[in-house]
A = this chain, B = another copy of it.
Amino acid sequence: MTLKKEDFPFSVQFDFERGEFSPKEKTATRRISDLGMIFHDKVAVELLIHQGDPLVYEIFYYGFKTSLSDMALGTTRIQPGKTGDEYYMTKGHFHEALDQPEIYFCIKGEGYLLMETLDGEFQAVKWKPGTITHIPPMWAHRVVNTSSSPLVFVASYHLAAGHSYEPIEEKGFLKRVIERNGKPQLVQNNQRF
């Protein structure tokens, strides 16, 4: 087989302090105005948008598409903060391809990885630096930052996985992570019941 440019090894340098790597192929930035639908307190959403529309999270990624394979690397950095009483979090997604898993590696910060299936199975995994979670196919996944500093995780997956936001965007996950008496607590998501 004649090797093309994309069939050669490629390296990026991850900065553990900043929680990003370079070079990166793409960056996606999510502010409150991009995420209004995921937080339950719509008044708090409007207020935050008028107060400067703060950054909630960024995704940096690089796809390694070769002649024979399609691995990809992502890093997500979630800022600390809350919308009303609900901690900052990612939109969350299913994979379009139903046979595609993913590995998440928490580098910094603390929070929860929420996962659920279309059949109503739900899991919340408490995350701290060093927690590595295998997300099997068919499980939607969302990360919540409950710490007072950025939460950073590295993801390894395949470009073939794709992203499907609809089932989650509309009504959210089965549980929400909110602050009660200064501590994170998992509560039932009333939009689902």
Contacts from A to B (Cβ < 8 Å): 1, 3, 6-16, 21, 62, 64, 66, 68-69, 71, 73, 98-103, 105, 113, 115, 117, 119, 121, 123, 125, 129-139, 154, 156
Contact among B69, B99, B129 for A100, CB-based, below 8 A: B69
Contact among B123, B134, B138 for A1, CB-based, below 8 A: B138
Copies of this chain, whole number: 2
Known: A99-B68, A103-B71, A117-B3. A14 touches B130 (CB 8 A): yes
Q: Which residue of B is nearest A136, CB measured?
A: B66
Contact, CB under 8 Å: B103 / A134: no
Distance, CA A115 to CA B137, complexed state (A)? 31
Distance, CA A13 to CA B129, complexed state (A)? 8
